[in-house]
């Protein structure tokens, strides 16, 4: 099983990196882009027995700084090749 954790700055926190990307896109001629927010993405390979609660705890305690960031967690069953089954 794999945990997919997305970390992003809270909506209330200014994201100067996202803003810079947004301005660059506009100057490159891309239209229709209202805003860009930059974040981080973690893929965590789990042993059997690891729980969603455990992943949430890791995301809360280590992967994010709760003062400025928030996260979403998703679990994905590993798609093993047929031959392995």
Partner 1 sequence: MKFGVVIFPGSNCDHDAFYALSHNLGKNTVFLWHQSEDLEGSDAIILPGGFAYGDYLRTGAIARFAPVMRSVRRFADSGGPVMGICNGFQILVEAGLLPGALMRNRGLRFICRAVYLRTETTDTPFTSDLRPGQVLAMPIAHGEGCYYADAGTLDQLERDDRIVFRYATPTGEPTEEANPNGSMRNIAGIVSEGRNVLGMMPHPERASDPLMGSADGLRIFASLASWLAQGACQEAVRLAGLVRHTL
State which of residues 20, 24, 54, 72 lies at the interface with partner 1 (CB under 8 A): 20
Cβ of residue 65: shortest distance to partner 1, in angstroms? Answer: 6
Instruction: Kindly write out the interface string for residues 35-74 of this chain, putting x where it contacts partner 1 by CB under 8 A and - elsewhere.
Output: ---------------------------xx-x-xx------
Cβ of residue 66: shortest distance to partner 1, in angstroms? Answer: 9
Q: What is the 3-state secondary structure (H, E, C) of the chain?
A: CEEEEEEEECCCCCCHHHHHHHHHHHHCCCCCCCCCCCEEEEEEECCCCCCHHHHHHHHHHHHCCCCCEEEEEEEECCCCCHHHC
Residue whose CB is less far from partner 1, 27 or 48: 27
């Amino acid at each position: 099983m794999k945990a997919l954790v997305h970390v992003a700055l809270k909506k209330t926190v200014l994201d100067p990196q996202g803003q810079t990307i947004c301005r660059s896109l506009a100057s490159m001629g891309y239209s229709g882009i209202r805003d860009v927010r930059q974040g981080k993405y973690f893929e965590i390979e789990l042993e059997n027995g690891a729980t969603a609660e455990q992943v949430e705890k890791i995301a809360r305690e280590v992967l994010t700084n709760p003062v400025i960031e928030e996260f979403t967690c998703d679990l994905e069953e590993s798609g093993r090749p047929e031959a392995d089954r």
